[in-house]
Structure 1
């Protein structure tokens, strides 16, 4: 429920009260009144205990834990799974696993559209979770040896079919769960809400940490006549996700429900912008001067506040989605390009008789996230603030982006030595996955990857959580959930670049080391674009509104958040 909040506004020489409710369109008022009726009892309890977490989050957090346990139980294993089960070569396995990641981060647009337009967040999460579960069941069954044909010759299309369904399921959920959690709090509960998002991030990483340790142990054991056991390895995440879905469904009576808007906001924004542009072109110079900003020509149909938020939404997308997609292009390869590198290294990290698989070694990323995020949030950023260093959100993302490029350059720097040492040991490139985690005296130790993992994770901790925060605080009230989905689209675009560049470079005969250097250079070009966009970006709080009603609404919004 959004409260009526009156503030004093100086309008020329006249001082008057402004009611935030009066600045809404009729449709927005109807939705607000419906939300108040649906949640009256829960809101009264929240107002009575504003510093206490709503009961609802104790059903939302386990759901996020289970979903991430499931996703990271599958995604890091795909590169090896595709090579072992279908007989794909390294490039094909990389393209297919990257395509899955691309789809998983593109389908949030569909989830956001369904949630905003028809079902609302709760029903959208339930519906797409069922789709997700069907995909996991198919993946588990299809991994049974011999079911789809002899191992190593299985149809790529059939193998990838469950991945499309899983991507649709997880993508549909992604833009809804965190915003559904945020909906459980009233606007005045900013501190409690901040703590929730911290807990939410922890649940993501705990789920990812456990599954990346447990699932590879299961998948690497002999079963069903094979030396590997992907069937049982994928069965565990399926069961965990099912239980998480049940827990989430049970919590329905405790959820605050925010009614769907009835229209997909990006499409509504496109219609408003198209209408405004058409009228602006036909308007006289005097009419243009009277309206001010060209988007104000759609003010009568869409409301003054909405058209200003359309402007804000567009300005958020410019410095984020396209330039940052090149950062994600590099980051998304840690589960395939770095995996392929690790297969060529000595995986006996704790002595000759030890065996550390690549997916197990990659949990360094999750462990470091759990360590570094609190250090940055509670030590580094406050230290910079106390010293008067203006370490803004855009600057944090820029530094994080640079560190990701540096980590990839380090990987490229050692790659040729890794390959030469592997070949000098008498091993064949086509047997790389079979040597995953095995002892090899002549090979370079897998620990050589630790510096690149540390730098990558530090960069991730600076640009990824900050990017989500940026998309939330820099978008208008109506666009915050949609902005989150477009942040995920940037991740998807990063995977698109890989599926375009990698096959082309392989076909051109470019070796893996040179490819890595080329990727680093492309990423550096993206960073330059980002820095230019960020330099000219004005934060929403300091940005002049394009009309008077939106200025008053923004003042009321920021005043309400300070309560």
Structure 2
């Protein structure tokens, strides 16, 4: 498994798009069609087709998604220590294809559903940190501006594939049943794997570090924790580790700690955003569908709107809002963007709660009303998600980039897990429903936004202090 470790070529100037990027973006678009096409019908499939009920169906969806976003830790470890990113993506994609096949073959069978979702979770979770990190690997030093822009388009490609999945798979289900609706995403995943393989000669591949001479993060942390009695006046908590480890190793741990601290409150944001695939679908089923050029939009198909809005918001923010903010002297730093995105999520649930209150009162609202919270929530999601990918890669040490990407994805897993827990506790004890439940999430998000802003301010000051020294 030879690895191409060259970072520049004579024929490729720093500002030119690296040759491997189009293949990675094409792969990501097809893979996201596969995943979100399956997700578009999963909530109703479990709740209604398998008669599990809304609460149990919602719990299974979010526990499955928790696994999808938790398993990147496993994929990142394999990539960083053993196979490298290219071979990890190529081999684990086979589990992904098999999972879709099991869902299609065992339609209506609950054990078959659990097996299929398990295989998909292994595949989707295993490759997820590697794909996003592989994009960053294609950019040599000196092309940081290109990296920022391409991460925006990488995120755009995710939603390009997702939009088609959300729109087409429910339609396929209506005409041909669930077996075909689960099988076609499997075919899309096979296409994604093939596209990725086609670009094999164009990728810059960073070799795995099976035996690193650099101390691990936990090794440095444990030494610092056990030797705090040796800390001298004026030293910071990690400075005691300099007695055994070099400055580069300690600096890497500081970077990881800063990233983890910034990400600490992000799961709450995703607890709200991730409900577009469950709570919002169930809400949409109680609203009146509408037509767009003869295309029926119901609660399931409405999920495509979120992906379409991302494709609109990404270029607007990247090419209009951010540059204008810079000219106005309001520098849109990653942490400022993320903080604003969290506030918008809270606003979204105030709007959604107001809508739900009208539904609870017996009004039959048009599903078109959901466009309003979608527009606000997706703007916030772009501010948080696209920025989070950029922040994680820029701040992470070279040897830990896949692991830091998986840490970001772990925040999404945390969001899904929070919803599964909240749903279960609410059904057992609180029994709040409708508008009250949505207003609770709005209030929670506003509180967490304030906490995030405090953390962001502290991290910024520490970074400035470190740069000055």
- Normalized against structure 1, the TM-score is what? 0.77
Greater Cα shift, 52-61 or 122-131: 52-61
CA 1:462–1:50: 2 relative to 1, 3 Å:
closer
Distance 2:286 2:395 in 1: 44
- What is aligned with 1:232? 180
SS at match of 2:283: helix
C-alpha distance in structure 2 between counterparts of 1:303 and 1:385, whole Å = 38
Residue 357 of structure 2: which of 394, 399, 416 is its match?
Answer: 416
Query: Given the superposition, is the C-alpha separation of residues 363 and 387 from structure 1 closer, same or farther in structure 2, using an over 3 Å criterion?
Result: same
Q: Shift in Å at residue 343 of structure 1?
A: 0.3
1:21-60 aligned within 5 A: 38-39=3-4, 43=7, 45=9, 48-60=12-24
Q: CA deviation at 1:218?
A: 0.2
Equivalent residue for 1:226?
none
DSSP-derived class of the 1:537 partner: helix
1:503 matched to 2:424: yes
Within 5 Å, give how 1:415-494 maps onto structure 2. 415-421=356-362, 443-494=364-415
Distance 2:220 2:454 in 1: 28
- Give, in angstroms, the shift of residue 270 of structure 1: 1.1
Q: Is the 8 A contact 1:46 1:186 kept in 2?
A: no
Structure 2 Cα separation of the partners of residues 67 and 264 of structure 1: 32
Call closer, same or farther: CA 1:43–1:324 in 2, change over 3 Å.
Answer: closer
Distance in 2 (CA, whole Å) between partners of 1:529 and 1:195 is 29
Contiguous gaps of at least 5 residues in structure 2: none
CA distance in 1, matches of 2:19, 2:344: 39
Instruction: Decide whether aligned partners of structure 1 residues 172 and 354 sit closer, same or farther in structure 2, where only a CA change above 3 A counts.
Output: closer
8 Å contact kept, 2:75–2:129: yes
Q: 1:379 aligns with which of 320, 324, 336?
A: 320
Distance 1:338 1:259, change over 3 A: same
Residue in structure 2 matching 1:327, options 269, 274, 299: 269
**Ranges in structure 1 where 5+ consecutive residues have no aligned partner:** 1-34, 149-154, 224-228, 423-442, 552-563
The answer on whether the counterparts of 1:46 and 1:54 sit within 8 Å (CA) in structure 2 is no
CA distance in 2, matches of 1:39, 1:122: 11
Q: Which of 157, 167, 174 pairs up with 1:213? A: 167
- What displacement does 1:267 show? 9.5
Per-residue deviation, residues 90-125 of structure 1 (Å, max 9, x unmatched) = 011111111111111111111111111111111111
Q: Does 1:249 align with 2:170?
A: no
Query: Is 1:315 the equivalent of 2:280?
Result: no
Cα deviation digits, residues 169-207 of structure 1 (max 9, x gap): 111111111211221232123344344323322321211
Change (3 A) 1:268 1:403: same
CA distance in 2 between counterparts of 1:100 and 1:265 reads 37
Q: Any idea what the Cα deviations from partners look like across 1:332-357, whole Å, max 9, x if unmatched?
A: 11111111111011113459x86322
TM-aligned CA distance change 1:163 to 1:201, over 3 Å: same
1:544 is aligned to: 466
**Which residue is equivalent to 1:534?**
456
Equivalent residue runs for 1:335-346 within 5 Å? 335-346=277-288
Q: Is the 8 A contact 2:65 2:416 kept in 1?
A: yes
Contact kept, 8 Å, 2:129 with 2:403, in 1: the verdict is yes
| Aligned-residue offset at 1:64 | 0.9
> Structure 1, residues 127-160: CA drift from partner, whole Å, max 9, x if none?
22111111111112122x5xx3xxxxxx3x4422
Q: Does the 8 Å CA contact 1:403/1:459 hold for their aligned counterparts?
A: yes
1:360 equivalent in alignment to 2:281 = no
Paired with 2:153 and 2:318, the residues of 1 have a C-alpha distance of 13
**C-alpha RMSD of matched pairs (Å):** 2.7
Which one has a bigger Cα radius of gyration? 1
C-alpha offsets along residues 304-358 of structure 1, whole Å, 9 cap, x if unaligned?
Answer: 21211201211221132x211111111111111111111011113459x863222
Whole-angstrom distance in 2 between the partners of 1:511 and 1:265? 55
In 2, the alpha carbon distance for the partners of 1:294 and 1:400 equals: 32
Deviation at 1:44, TM superposition (A): 5.8
Counterpart-to-counterpart distance in 2, 1:192 and 1:391: 17
Report how far residue 539 of structure 1 moved: 6.4
d(CA) in 1 for partners of 2:261, 2:106: 42
Q: Out of 124, 131, 144, which is 1:170 matched to?
A: 124
Answer whether contact 2:309 2:378 (CA < 8 A) is retained. Answer: yes
What do the CA deviations read for 1:418-437 (whole angstroms, capped 9, x no partner)?
Answer: 24437xxxxxxxxxxxxxxx
- CA distance 1:253–1:410, shift in 2 (3 Å): same
